[in-house]
Amino acid sequence: MDKVKTGKISKTKIMAAAQKIKLLILDVDGVMTDGSIILDNNDNEIKSFHVRDGHGIKMLGKAGVRVAIITGRYSAVVDRRALELGIDDVYQRCYVKTTAYEQLLVKYNLTDVETAYVGDDVVDIALLKRVGLPIVVADGADDAKKYSIMITSNPGGRGAVREVTDLLLKAAGKWEELLIEYDK
């Protein structure tokens, strides 16, 4: 928590919001990745994901917090990564992200306060304004940051998601329990 930039919001308020979270929603490009899109001459799209971000997502799942992806682009590699991480709810080509968000709230019988969203750009503002814990990555757009209560210290694709998962695990009181598993 000490690495997180909180601006005018106190760490206590961020932790209080984090304690209520039952669903973490992630954008992909610029959040789970560094925002680079590499295209080769064979129409393949290549994205780079940070291994510790992925491990954090897996730990969050073990602790009972759901994770979903809502992204505006489509990429087969996102489906593959979601499968590897156990993320069942993947919404791609989502140009109005609030539509997928509403579906998730209904599916899991959740309220805005019980959701967190990590974004990086202006297309994320509508969700940042709705969720109980709005987060923007360190290298996110300034206009998006205006609607966050937490800004990660790491940029997208470089450990930002892990900062969020660690925060949620600590807020839920699950961090120490998970560490014990790794100490066996």
pLDDT digit string, tens, across residues 103-161: 999 999 999 999 999 999 999 999 999 999 999 999 999 999 999 999 999 999 999 99
Helix (H) or strand (E) holding 134: strand 133-136
- Give the residue among 18, 68, 5 at the shortest CA–CA distance from 172: 18
Q: Where are the domains of the chain?
A: 11-177
Question: Please, are residues 134 and 128 in contact by the beta-carbon 8 Å criterion?
Answer: yes
Quote the pTM value.
0.92
Is residue 59 scored above 50 in pLDDT?
Answer: yes
Q: What is the pLDDT of residues 70-82, one digit of tens each?
A: 999 999 999 999 9
Domain covering 11-177, topology: Rossmann fold (3.40.50)
Question: Please, are residues 65 and 181 in contact by the beta-carbon 8 Å criterion?
Answer: no
Helices (H), 28-159: 51-62, 76-85, 97-108, 125-130, 142-145
